[in-house]
Structures are given as structure tokens and as C-alpha cells.
Structure 1
Amino acid sequence: MDHALYVVQTPHEDNEDTLIHPDFTYKLSEAELVKFVRLRAANDALFTGKRNTSVIAWRAILKEMGIQRRMSTSQARKKWENLKKKYKEMKNPPPGVSINPTNWQWFSLMEDAMEGRLNDSEVLLSTSSIGDDGDYRPDKPRKRTRDPYHSEMELLVDGDDTALSGETAQDRADTSSERDDAEQERSLLDRAALETERLVMERERMVMDRERAGLERELASLDRERASLEREKAAVERDRASVEHERAQLEKERAQMDWDRARLERDRAALERDRAAPETRRRGSGNDGSRGTEHLADVDMEPASIERRQKFLDLFEKLIENF
């Protein structure tokens, strides 16, 4: 296999990301953010995943927007990743967390971008005329000393494929910057997730406190109703005992009345027997005749007394029945 040996100069050690002022971060306006998302969605084919294609594609987008000297490709990439992360969190929240996606103003825009509805929303860009590094130098460079001489390395070429024999300082800086950006972004997302979980737990705790207070009020109401029922039950028991006592008294009086009535019946029967005795018994002489007359007087007076006692017993019985 034939190989050609070439000696080439490596790119400048300082790329646009390292030249960005450490305290300067460009903030996109709403109109710029809409155009930023549309251009990224329409030119998704430029982001093939191959080495350095991402930087070139972002340069083309930033140049189309006219902000290539205010925002670096690293900042643009981070902005796009943050938008995607936010969209995924709003689209698929964690289990048990209720989120209204419409509360985020860029949800509809990102949903259109992620679902391919913005593929034809902007012009298709070309990476053939993105210019050189000088066109992407930021307006606020960070001062640093750099070697005026560039290192050289050997590049082996086999057909159309090229491979670098070593890792350049720019590659290491890019890798380190991307790793730091990823760590910082992960930390921010973790803090945001923890804050969201804390807010959800606070809302759930407030709901549980309200429900517990409601249950305690209902329990107190039930206790009051139970005490009222106990008092009513005691009153009913007292009334029942009083009624039982009065009933026992009436039973005793009724038994006494029955006994009196039986006695009256016996007296009446005895009177009837005395009336039916032979008349000769009332006749006699001497003292016997006077005693017979006295006995007859007693017999004649007793029916009146018996009648009065009978009327009294009848009235007393009616009184008991009415009671």
C-alpha cells in the first residue's frame, strides 16, 4: 500500500472558544433564539457526527445570524443542548411529577424542531464559504501569549482517509472544554431536578396537612355527635326505668283492685244467700224475733254499701286504663 508523506502546519493553538472573554456570555434575543432553533433544525444534515463537523456547522449558523463574533461555537452547542434537555424534561417529566409544558414559552418551537416540522423553515447553509478563523475572533479577546511559530507534524494519507499521528493542543483544549461544560451542565440539571422534587414534595406536604386538618375536624365532630348520642341514650334509659316503675305500681294497684272485687263478689253472694233463706227465719218470738229483725236490718243496709264500693272500683279501673 502506497503512502504519501506530507508535512503540514497545525491550526492555531488558540481557537475562538479560548479567545472568548471569561466574563462574557452573549444572550440571544427572542427573535434570535427563534432563528437559531430554525436554522439548527433546517441544517441538521450538517451535523454528521464526524470530527470537527459540529464546529464548522455551528460557524455557518452563527455567520448566517451575524453573531459569529459575539457567540462561540461552544456556547452555541451548549445553548442547543440546554434547549433539548429542557424540552425532554417538559415532554417526559419524572414519575409522580405533574408539569404543564405550555408554561415554557419555547416548548412549541422545540417540539416542532424535534419532530421535523422546521426542516424547511430556513435556508440550507453551505460550509464551503465560512471564512477563516479571523472571521470568528470575538470582539473581547482574552490576552494571552502564544508562540508565533506553529508546530509541525507528519500526516499519513491513504487514499481519501486521513489520520492524525498525535493529539493537538487544540483537540485537548476542546475536549477539556467540552468535559467541563458537560460537568457544569449536569450539575445545573441535577440542582434543577432536586429543586423541582423539593417543590413537589412541599406541595404534597401542604396537601397532606390540609387533609389531616380536615380529618381532625371530622373526628372532633364525630366525637361531639357520639357524646350527644350517649346523653340521649342515658335519658331514654332513665325514662324507661321510670315507665317500668310506674307500670309495676299500676300492676300492684290492679292486683289490689282484683282482690277487692273478689271480696265484693263474695259479699254479694253471701247477701243473695241470706235473701233466699226461708221467711220463717225472720219470724220468731221473744228475743229471737228481735235478733232476726236486727239481722234483717243489717242485711238491708249492706247492699247499698256494696253498690258504692262497686262504683268506686269501676271508676278506679277506668282511671287506671286511661293512665
Structure 2
Amino acid sequence: MAANTGKKPSYKWTTEATRALIHFRATNEDSFTRSKQAPKKLWEQFIKEAGLLGKVEPQQAAKKWENLNTRYKELKNPKTGSGTDGGEETAATWQYYQDMHEVLGGRPSIDPPLLVASFTPDDPTTILLVSLED
């Protein structure tokens, strides 16, 4: 007989709940970064609004966001030389890539501007910084 550890079984996130979490986090971006206490209250709000009371704890919602964020960054900037011969997930195949890209894609930490330094022929001590935007 298995011992009861008192731990709740982990919630299996549905596609709908995951997309709701992504949308909620994006909509409340400023509030999440306002203070250290804000995220817990906001995740509690999300859980209530999404009908996940009793199924998900704020820490689980925060961890889900962290995992989505990490996965997006890994797929956005794959390691050099990494292939998909083994059927690994890619930006094109991950079901949440587009949702996450809409939220995170424009952030400088994700897609930093490209700066090029150049010297002027008249004054080689002057350096020009040029931003190359798409």
C-alpha cells in the first residue's frame, strides 16, 4: 500500500489553460514587475478567473510561466549546431511559440538591437554607433 504524502496530484495543464495563462501574464506585465509581492496575488487572481481554484497553486502557475519562458528562449535562439534529427521540438512545431512570441518577441532581452561601430574617415577617433533595425 502506498503511503499518502499529503501532496496533491499535479495538475495537467490544458492547451486552453496554458494559453489563458500566457494571455493573463501578457495583459498584466506591468503589475507583475511592480513589486515582489505582486506576482503571488496576480497568480491567485488568474487561478480564480480561469476556474482553477483547488487545482493549481500560485507557485505552480508561476513555475508554468517560468517553464514557458525558458522553452521560448531555447527555441528562439537554439544552440549552434543543434539539429532536429531526433524529432526535437522547434519554434515551428511548439504549439505555444507564437503566443509566447507575441508576448516576449519584442523585448530587448530577447531580440536586442544590433549596433555597429564604425570610424569616420575624417576623424578616426570618432566612433559612430548605428542601430540596424529590420
**TM-score > 0.5 by shorter chain:** yes
User: For 1:115 and 1:95, how far apart are their aligned partners in 2?
Assistant: 20
Partner residue of 1:50?
35
Q: Secondary structure at the match of 2:92?
A: helix
Structure 1 residue 28: Cα displacement: 1.8
Partner residue of 2:47?
62
Letter in 2 for 1:89: E
User: For 1:105 and 1:71, how far apart are their aligned partners in 2?
Assistant: 22
Gaps of at least 5 residues in structure 2 are 1-5, 85-89, 107-134
Partner residue of 2:112?
none
User: For 2:13 and 2:82, how far apart are their aligned partners in 1?
Assistant: 30
Structure 1 residue 95: Cα displacement: 1.6
Query: Which has the larger share of helix?
Result: 1
Structure 1 residue 47: Cα displacement: 0.8
Q: Secondary structure at the match of 1:25?
A: coil
Deviation string 1:21-80 (CA, Å, 9 cap, x unpaired) is: 524111121111111111111111221252321111111111111112210000000000
Partner residue of 2:101?
111
Q: What fraction of aligned residue pairs are identical, expressed as a percent?
A: 31
Say what the alpha-carbon RMSD is for the aligned residues.
1.7
User: For 2:26 and 2:52, how far apart are their aligned partners in 1?
Assistant: 18
Question: What TM-score comes out, normalization by structure 1 length?
Answer: 0.28
2:66 equivalent among 43, 66, 81: 81
Mapping of 1:226-305 within 5 angstroms?
A: none
User: For 1:115 and 1:68, how far apart are their aligned partners in 2?
Assistant: 31
Partner residue of 2:91?
101
Structure 1 residue 105: Cα displacement: 1.3
Work out which of the two has the higher radius of gyration on C-alpha atoms and give 1 or 2: 1
Partner residue of 2:23?
38
Question: What TM-score comes out, normalization by structure 2 length?
Answer: 0.65
Letter in 2 for 1:104: W
Deviation string 1:124-151 (CA, Å, 9 cap, x unpaired) is: xxxxxxxxxxxxxxxxxxxxxxxxxxxx
Gaps of at least 5 residues in structure 1 are 1-20, 117-323
Q: Secondary structure at the match of 2:30?
A: helix
Letter in 1 for 2:65: W
Structure 1 residue 111: Cα displacement: 0.7
